[in-house]
Amino acid sequence: MNRVTMRACLGKMPEEMPEEIAEEMSEENCVAGEGSGLVPAGLRDTRITTGFVDANGLRFEVDQCGSGERLALCLHGFPEHSFSWRFQLPMLAELGYRAWAPNLRGYGASSRPEGLSAYSLEHLLEDVSALIDASGCRETVLLAHDWGAVIAWYYAMRGKRPLSKLVICNVPHPQAMSQGFSWAQLKRSWYIFFFQLPRLPEWLLSRRDGAALADVMARSAVDKRNFSAAVGEVYRRNAMQPGALTAMINYYRALVRGGGARRQRAAGLPVIDVPTLMVWGEDDVALGKETTYGTERYVSNLTLRYLPRVSHWVQQEQPEVVNAMIGHFLQDQPVPEMVWEARLRS
């Protein structure tokens, strides 16, 4: 990757970091400019710039690529960062979109309001509306992964702003999740219940300066080539900013303990009519494939593509495959399928 102007990197190096990784993440390899500075110049793509957008009373750090009147808004997940969309933004710009990947509230250099209620679904949905309004675009495509996809599913149901298309990566529709919930899925979802506890999750995740967060993706990815130690360090530094871990975990607390999911169910879960592409890595350690079954009952125009031997971090792990699927979908072309072929070797 080429360099792009960024502000000096934040955070300190963990004591056990290999010398070559520490050098790549050093202040000398991050140049002055806007943004949180969590991503070193050597990992940046010069086609992507970073700025700030004021929306819903907050300030959002936004990675941006391309221009025009069609917005492609990309929402990241936990424990991620706008950086997780680095492979998709240039592709979307080439298709004629103004591609934005904001750091959601509490992440990166975006505003970090205090309190569990600040991370309720109602606030998160309003953030999306405000970002769409701030773009000034006439059309919006919403792309989302993990927690971003939780927000996107409800956003499409509520119809707060018109969406021309919806792309969901590795999070089931809430109703399909309920229908497919099993004892096996309960065991996979243990962390959601653990995150309801006060303070203890933050303490455990921040031990050894957040070392566990540095390789959480590499540990669970099938193809680990896009999850180098330097990439993991971006996510570790993101989470280890003051107050960031609590903000990130408060998404889960507000959903369960704060009653967000209960209020959404009470409001009803109408069928989504927005044309939707659902991309699903089958080797997801947190969400079973069975939670996708029956999604077509809740989405009237659904295209579902499974990616065998791909993990939860689908758009980062297999960007060429995912980009091809998204590109075809956005251009109203048949979406290709990924197949895995077993071969014998002599």
Calpha distance 86→228 (Å, rounded)? 14
CB 180 within 8 A of CB 293: yes
Which is the catalytic residue, given 235, 252, 284, 298?
Answer: 252
CA distances from 57 to 110, 133, 207 (A): 11, 13, 33
Calpha distance 246→43 (Å, rounded)? 27
Which is the catalytic residue, given 146, 209, 215, 284?
Answer: 146
* Block residue for tokens 């967000």: 260
**The tokens of 151 are what?**
């927000």
CB 280 within 8 A of CB 305: yes
Q: What letter does residue 178 receive in the DSSP assignment?
A: H
Which is the catalytic residue, given 76, 81, 145, 312?
Answer: 312
CB 119 within 8 A of CB 254: yes
Buried b (16+ CB within 10 A) or exposed e, 181-215: eeeebeebbeeeeebeeeeebbeebbeebbbbbbb
Does the active-site annotation cover 252? yes
Give the Cβ contact number of residue 51 at 10 Å: 13
Residues marked as catalytic: 146, 252, 312
